[in-house]
């Protein structure tokens, strides 16, 4: 960012001492989002997961930087108390995507950051690698509803690599991949040539590149930015076999959840949290367990990539 912008956003940014020191000393840092805490999982599993995922990052030689907005400040690196607060408040906390950011900050409010907003804040702080569960994408029916997550537009523009377990089939995976292609966002499969579908290791969609090591992922990500190709990178990391779900069971559960959402007239930013909660209910908690495990798995890979950057 230019020097002039720098002066402007610095007054909103609050980087924790630990993350600041890590960045100054070129140590590997991994960003984490907070919508997954407040809207993506129920209490208390959300807090347990948020704290454990930080531990996984430390155990793998990097420093975690969980991102949220508290009292209008863009916080990079949260305390345990702050994580507990976001988890307990849950959906009372505003889910903040790019369009919401100015309002929340200008009014000194709290906000949970989506993939899009976490990328924005990570980039402002100088964090390049970000681990999460799944990205938002083009929803089923997006060709008429135009419900396309702002995450995709952010991936088009913001220089942060997002390590995820692919996209959930609550989305239209084909449309999501097309959108990313149009905007020049590389989707790199980690040890796979199939787009992982979050709860399952594979979907019917092929990826162009199967990358076998974290070193190679780091090299491709760095090269993209050295070439001046702005925008993000998606690293698609399949859920470990032992935690992956039965394809037919999860597909049917997702279809029922989508029908339920339509019946209840769920729209806009409510859609993703509604579907996640519904799928958990239908699978009697199994989807939540899978979700938690794939987040840990992504945090581990993200740490390895960050160490190689
Ligand atoms: N997918 C998940 N869990 C989540 C989300 C997505 O499995 O918690 C959250 C992320 O924060 C993502 C956001 O950025 O939902 C996308 O919401 P929307 O589709 O409204 O942009
Ligand atoms: Mn949407």
| Per-residue pLDDT tens digits for 209-241 | 999 999 999 999 999 999 999 999 999 999 999
Q: State the DSSP code for 285.
A: T
Residue closest to 136 by CA, chosen among 121, 111, 119, 124: 119
pLDDT band at 168 (very low <50, low <70, confident <90, very high): confident
Query: How far apart, in whole angstroms, are the C-alpha atoms of residue 161 and residue 14?
Result: 22
Query: How far apart, in whole angstroms, are the C-alpha atoms of residue 201 and residue 169?
Result: 12
Cβ of residue 287 lying under 6 Å from some atom of ligand 1: no
CA atoms within 13 A on the CB side of 12: 21
Cβ of residue 67 lying under 6 Å from some atom of ligand 1: no
Reply yes or no on whether the pLDDT at 2 is more than 90: no
Whole-number average pLDDT of the chain: 95
pLDDT band at 133 (very low <50, low <70, confident <90, very high): very high
CA distances, 234 to each of 38, 220, 267 (Å): 23, 11, 26
What's the average model confidence in pLDDT over 185-194?
Answer: 98
How many angstroms does the Cα of residue 265 sit away from the middle of ligand 2?
A: 14
Query: How far apart, in whole angstroms, are the C-alpha atoms of residue 287 and residue 246?
Result: 10
Reply yes or no on whether the pLDDT at 66 is more than 70: yes
Q: State the DSSP code for 67.
A: E
Q: What is the number of the ligand 1 atom nearest to the C-alpha of 269? A: 20
pLDDT the model gives residue 4: 63
Cβ of residue 197 lying under 6 Å from some atom of ligand 1: no
Cβ of residue 269 lying under 6 Å from some atom of ligand 1: yes
Shortest-distance ligand to the CA of residue 120: 1
Reply yes or no on whether the pLDDT at 5 is more than 90: no
Cβ of residue 77 lying under 6 Å from some atom of ligand 1: no
pLDDT the model gives residue 3: 61
Write down the pTM of the prediction. 0.96
pLDDT band at 169 (very low <50, low <70, confident <90, very high): confident
Query: How far apart, in whole angstroms, are the C-alpha atoms of residue 308 and residue 217?
Result: 9
Reply yes or no on whether the pLDDT at 195 is more than 70: yes
Residue closest to 237 by CA, chosen among 152, 305, 163: 163
Q: What is the number of the ligand 1 atom nearest to the C-alpha of 149? A: 21
How many angstroms does the Cα of residue 272 sit away from the middle of ligand 1?
A: 6
How many angstroms does the Cα of residue 272 sit away from the middle of ligand 2?
A: 8
pLDDT band at 261 (very low <50, low <70, confident <90, very high): very high
Residue 256: Cβ within 10 Å count: 14
Residue 286: Cβ within 10 Å count: 18
Residue with the smallest CA separation from ligand 1 atom 3 is 40
């Amino acid at each position: 960012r230019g020097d002039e912008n720098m002066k402007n956003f610095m007054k909103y940014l609050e980087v924790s001492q630990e993350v600041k020191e890590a960045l100054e000393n070129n140590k590997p840092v991994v960003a984490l989002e907070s919508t997954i805490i407040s809207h993506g999982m129920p209490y208390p599993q959300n807090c347990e997961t948020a704290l454990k995922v930080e531990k996984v990052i430390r155990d793998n030689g990097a420093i975690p930087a969980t991102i949220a907005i508290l009292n209008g400040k863009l916080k990079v690196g949260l305390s345990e108390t702050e994580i507990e607060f976001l988890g307990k408040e849950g959906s009372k906390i505003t889910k903040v995507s790019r369009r919401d950011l100015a309002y929340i900050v200008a009014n000194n409010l709290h906000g949970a950051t989506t993939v899009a907003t976490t990328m924005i804040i990570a980039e402002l702080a100088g964090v390049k690698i970000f681990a999460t569960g799944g990205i938002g994408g083009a929803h089923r029916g997006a060709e008429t509803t135009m419900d396309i997550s702002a995450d995709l537009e952010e991936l088009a523009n913001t220089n942060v690599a997002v390590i995820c377990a692919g996209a959930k089939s609550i989305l239209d995976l084909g449309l999501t991949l097309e959108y990313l292609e149009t905007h020049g966002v590389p989707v790199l499969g980690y040890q796979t040539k199939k787009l992982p579908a979050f709860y399952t290791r594979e979907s019917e969609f092929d990826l162009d590149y199967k990358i076998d090591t974290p070193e190679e992922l780091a090299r491709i990500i760095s090269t993209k930015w050295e070439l001046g190709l702005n925008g993000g990178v998606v690293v698609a990391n399949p859920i470990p076999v032992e935690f992956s779900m039965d394809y037919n069971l999860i597909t049917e559960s997702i279809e029922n959840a989508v029908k339920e959402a339509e019946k209840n007239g769920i729209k806009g930013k409510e859609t993703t949290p509604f579907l996640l909660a519904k799928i958990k209910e239908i699978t009697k908690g199994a989807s939540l367990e899978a979700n938690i495990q794939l987040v840990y798995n992504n945090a581990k890979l993200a740490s390895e990539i960050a160490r190689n950057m």
